[in-house]
């Protein structure tokens, strides 16, 4: 039986706040991808609360990239919030730390961009 | 590869020249095995003397290599087995991934340029950043591919 990723999604101030929890790896990254794309479809703007992500690999990063690009194409806002050190390191090695908008907190105003 | 239920073939479990094997793990070559591989590899890396950050890096690099096996080596065929063998070779840790998939031509596996922002290709790039050496070895009889990953300890 395949592992499921625990994902808590809610709408706050018309922004979808998506909080995956646990290891985001090849087994579950498609589930995160689908949830993020669904949230962009349903709600529009998306913040991914990364605080609960203990581990992320390239398949998880790919899910974030695809969601980010989809949001951008539709002129929707997309940010990663509370990225833990280990996940941040993966972004940095992949040179994606300056590609994704990063936030210290789950700020539905998207920082000053609101 | 050895029949189900038997011990791994000697070619899989034996030390390579100048190496001391710490642990070898044989799993079904599927995505659901990766969490277990990481769970074994993390403490093994610590045992070899890596600090937490470097151990995390090794775990990620090996996970990415295992993904390539699961997604590409066994593409279009029934998933077989993947053996992950962790050893010390002097001041290097070596991790061999041994599968029974059809033999892959290493020349077909290339990272994408960094500025190419598309999903995919990223894993190979991460491996290149996190490891000191990546070598395809000649597979022994019964094995499809042997990938040797090396990372300096310390």
Q: For residue B6, give the DSSP letter.
A: S
A114 touches chain B (CB under 8 A): no
Query: How far off is chain B from A66, nearest CA to CA, in Å?
Result: 7
Residue ranges of E strands in A3-87: 6-12, 15-24, 45-49, 53-56, 78-81
Window B:87-146, CB contacts with A under 8 Å: 114, 117-120, 122-123, 125-126, 129-130
The structure's pTM equals 0.88
B25, two tokens? 């793990």
Size of interface A-B (CB pairs under 8 A): 58
Per the CB < 8 Å rule, is A58 touching B64?
A: yes
Q: Taking CA atoms, what residue in B is nearest to A61?
A: B119
Identify the pLDDT of residue A5. 97
Q: How far apart are CA A36 and CA A71, in angstroms?
A: 9
B32 touches chain A (CB under 8 A): yes
Per the CB < 8 Å rule, is A69 touching B117?
A: yes
The string of pLDDT tens digits covering residues B101-146 is 999 877 776 655 545 555 557 898 899 999 999 999 999 888 999 9
The vertex-A87 CA angle with A110 and A27, nearest 5°, equals: 110
Q: How far apart are CA B3 and CA A41, in angstroms?
A: 48
How high is the ipTM of this complex? 0.91
B31: phi then psi, degrees, rounded to nearest 5: -55, -35
- What's the gap between Cα A113 and its chain centre? 18
Longest dimension (CA), chain A: 44
Q: Which of B28, B61, B80 is nearest to B131 (CA)?
A: B61
Q: Which residues make beta-bridge pairs with A103?
A: A81
Per the CB < 8 Å rule, is A26 touching B71?
A: yes
Cβ-defined contacts of A1-10 (< 8 Å, 24+): A2/A27, A2/A28, A2/B31, A2/B32, A3/A27, A3/A28, A3/B32, A3/B35, A4/A28, A4/A31, A5/A31, A5/A32, A6/A52, A7/A31, A7/A32, A7/A35, A9/A35, A9/A39
Q: In which element (H, E) is residue B95 found?
A: strand B92-99
Distances (CA, A) of B129 to A94, B38, B58, B123: 9, 19, 11, 10
Half-sphere exposure of A28 (CA within 13 A, CB side): 21
A97 touches chain B (CB under 8 A): no
The string of pLDDT tens digits covering residues A56-113 is 999 999 999 999 999 999 999 999 999 999 999 999 998 899 999 999 999 888 875 4
- Chain B residues whose CB is inside 8 A of the A68 CB are none
- Chain B residues whose CB is inside 8 A of the A95 CB are 114
């Amino acid at each position: 039986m395949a592992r499921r990723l625990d994902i808590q999604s809610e709408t706050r101030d018309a922004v979808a706040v998506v909080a995956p929890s646990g290891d985001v790896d090849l087994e579950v990254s498609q589930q995160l991808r689908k949830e993020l794309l669904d949230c962009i479809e349903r709600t529009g703007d998306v913040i991914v609360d990364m605080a609960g992500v203990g581990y992320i690999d390239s398949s998880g990063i790919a899910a974030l990239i695809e969601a980010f690009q989809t949001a951008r194409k539709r002129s929707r806002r997309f940010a990663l919030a509370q990225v833990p050190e280990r996940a941040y390191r993966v972004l940095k090695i992949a040179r994606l730390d300056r590609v994704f908008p990063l936030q210290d907190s789950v700020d539905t105003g998207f920082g000053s961009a609101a | 590869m050895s029949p189900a239920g038997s011990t791994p073939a000697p070619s899989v479990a034996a030390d390579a020249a100048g190496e001391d094997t710490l642990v070898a793990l044989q799993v079904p070559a599927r995505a659901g095995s990766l969490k277990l591989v990481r769970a074994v590899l993390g403490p093994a890396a610590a045992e070899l003397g890596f600090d937490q950050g470097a151990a995390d890096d090794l775990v990620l690099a090996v996970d990415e290599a295992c993904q390539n096996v699961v997604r590409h080596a066994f593409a279009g065929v029934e998933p077989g087995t993947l053996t992950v063998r962790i050893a010390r070779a002097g001041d290097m840790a070596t991790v061999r991934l041994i599968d029974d998939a059809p033999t892959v031509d290493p020349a077909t596996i290339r990272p994408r340029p960094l500025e190419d922002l598309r999903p995919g290709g990223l894993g190979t790039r991460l491996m290149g950043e996190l490891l000191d050496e990546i070598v395809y070895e000649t597979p022994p009889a019964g094995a499809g591919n042997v990938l040797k990953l090396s990372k300096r300890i310390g």
